[in-house]
Amino acid sequence: MSDIEKYSEDGAGVRDKLVTAMTDLETTDEGIEELEKLLEEARDTATCGELLTESKAEHKRLEANRKDLVEVPNKLVKAINAEFKARQTRLERVSRVLESRMSDALAAAAAAQAEAWRKAAEAEAAGQDLAMRAALSQSAKHADTKLPSNHNQRKRWVATVVDSEAVPREWCVPDISALRRAAHGLAADAKPPEIPGVEFTVKIVTTTRT
């Protein structure tokens, strides 16, 4: 049994779960609306803390339900993508080889035609009429080498980084994730690493146990 077949069978019960989840979301909407109303008057830490705990707990519950619902569909999508990608990768290789061979054939024909023209010119200058005619005939034969009617070629620029250190600043994007990791887990009184052009500041973050 392939992964697609396996996850398709596993997904048979997802519809029932989805129906239940949608009903639950309608009830959840009512709870969120109530929280939003209470939010307007919440100012003291006790009330804010109570509402924050409720909000975080509901968010956590929804996330758990979401993950449960999408687990099998995500595995099915991944399995489908893998099956198609494997074949597409092989076809892409076939296409690249054929494109390269057509380009090689066109280049070889152009070179052979140029050589035939050169020989024809030399034969004409030497008064060798027979040799000239043979060279022109050879040139005409290579002139017939062309792409099929449903294919065409065009030139385009392709960028390749050959020296990352020399790339101008405006073409570079800072790695924000790496910068965050540089200070992740550090105590507030610890000193983050010094990185030119980067300023680390302490942000107050409220954590809630649910």
111 in any annotated domain: yes
175 in any annotated domain: no
164 in any annotated domain: no
65 in any annotated domain: yes
pLDDT digits (tens, 9 = 90+) for 51-93: 999 999 999 999 999 998 888 889 889 999 999 999 999 999 9
* Residue 201 backbone phi and psi in degrees, to 5: -125, 150
Give whole-number Cα distances, 135 to 113, 118, 123, 143, in Å. 9, 8, 8, 12
Using left for φ > 0, alpha for ψ between -120 and 50, and beta otherwise, residue 194 falls in beta
Split into its structural domains, the chain has a count of: 1
From 171, 197, 200, 170, select the one nearest 188 (Cα to Cα). 200
From 58, 69, 49, 56, select the one nearest 31 (Cα to Cα). 58
159 in any annotated domain: no
189 in any annotated domain: no
Tens of pLDDT along the chain (210 residues)? 577 676 666 666 677 777 788 888 888 999 999 999 999 999 999 999 999 999 999 999 999 999 988 888 898 899 999 999 999 999 999 999 999 999 999 889 888 888 888 888 888 888 888 888 887 787 787 777 888 888 888 888 889 999 999 999 889 999 999 999 999 888 888 999 999 999 999 988 888 888
208 in any annotated domain: no
* pTM of structure: 0.61
Query: Which residue range is the domain that position 98 belongs to?
Result: 3-143
156 in any annotated domain: no
